[in-house]
Copies of this chain bind each other. A is one copy, B any other.
Amino acid sequence: MSRPTPHVRIDRAVLERNIDTMQRAAGAAGLALRPHAKTHKSLEVARLQLAAGAVGLTVATVSEAEVFAAVCDDLVIAYPLWMDDERAGRLRGVLERAAVAVGVDSVESVRRLAPLADAGLRVRVEVDSGHHRSGVPAGDVVAVASAATEVGLLVDGVFTFPGHSYSPDARASAAADEQRELAAARDVLVAAGIPCPTVSGGSTPSVAYARGEVLTEVRPGVYVFGDAQQWELGTIAPEQVALTVVATVVGHYPDRVVLDAGSKVLGADRSSWATGHGRFLDHPDAVITALSEHHATVTGFDAPRGTRVRVVPNHVCTAVNLADDYAVDDATWRVDARNANT
């Protein structure tokens, strides 16, 4: 614990247990596991996931694909990319190293991908299962998939992100929405004569409800590390938290203490239902009532200045993206895909 605070720390034993537990759960449900690498952005973590049995990785951007092609030859970019010459050139480079499928949710975006058909690019049609971010209604997948086959792009299947599972008591209902809409999308595709080998879903809150009768694959990300959101949603127990921000008490006042970890290391994500701006792993009654860039204001906890504490970020994906590296036991791992937003 001699590194200066604040810093990001991984408990490797917990990380490996999380990876193993999710892999075995997916296998028991008859599902392939394709973890979302946007959570950890780390080649070391990706290697552990692949060694445990993941079929490949999910990423969000072409630049993440460029990083993870170093360790994985089967990538899905689960994002409605809008292709331009610059991005197409980079994606072509990735296709020389790995199989890649890209999310599509419009005829227009499919047509922009057409020049990459000769490089073997595949597409997956994104279905809106209730999150209302990207994706098309299940009934509209044929138009998008047909546009792909017309320009020579192989259709890999359908996928969704049930992001509305990130809410108290919504995990089971969002998983039911996901399964129903993906089944409908698959059925209309097959009825139109377009094979649908992959039916992919799964967020960390909903994945425990995913069943192999409809889905063939799940893409959770956060499960590797856990975070305060998952803890408060009931998806994980605190014993499953593998990543914390180590911080020091730098201020001590009659009604509060202040830590040296703020939004520039913890991230500013805070859902309406969150109890605070992160949680103390070892002191569940502490509440982070306010967060500045370099200060966390804490009530319900008392300790002298100089005390080190372990803070669980609300949303681990954005906290990781702030860090250049992780402390992992006595080693240091790079956050290889930090800022890989393009």
Known A108-B305, A294-B61: A264·B341 in contact at CB below 8 Å: yes
Contact partner, A250, options B81, B265, B322, B324, Cβ 8 Å: B81
Interface contact A342-B5, CB-CB below 8 Å: yes
Query: What mask results when residues 298 to 316 of chain A are scored 1 for a CB within 8 Å of chain B, else 0?
Result: 0000001110000000010
Instruction: Give the number of chain A interface residues (Cβ < 8 Å).
Output: 59
Q: List 14 A-B contacts (CB under 8 A).
A: A4-B86, A6-B341, A7-B342, A60-B293, A80-B258, A106-B252, A108-B305, A109-B305, A134-B295, A264-B317, A265-B341, A267-B268, A322-B322, A324-B339
CB nearest neighbor in B for A342: B4
Interface contact B322-A105, CB-CB below 8 Å: no
Query: What mask results when residues 83 to 101 of chain A are scored 1 for a CB within 8 Å of chain B, else 0?
Result: 0101100000000000000
CB nearest neighbor in B for A136: B253
The yes or no answer to A318 lying at the interface (CB within 8 A) is yes
CB nearest neighbor in B for A290: B133
Additional A-B contacts beyond A6-B341, A105-B251 (7; CB < 8 A): A80-B250, A80-B258, A132-B297, A263-B269, A293-B318, A294-B341, A324-B339
Known A82-B248, A109-B305, A305-B82: A133·B264 in contact at CB below 8 Å: no
CB distance from A317 to the nearest CB of B (A): 6
CB nearest neighbor in B for A321: B264
| Chain B residues closer than 8 Å to A324, beta-carbon distance | 339
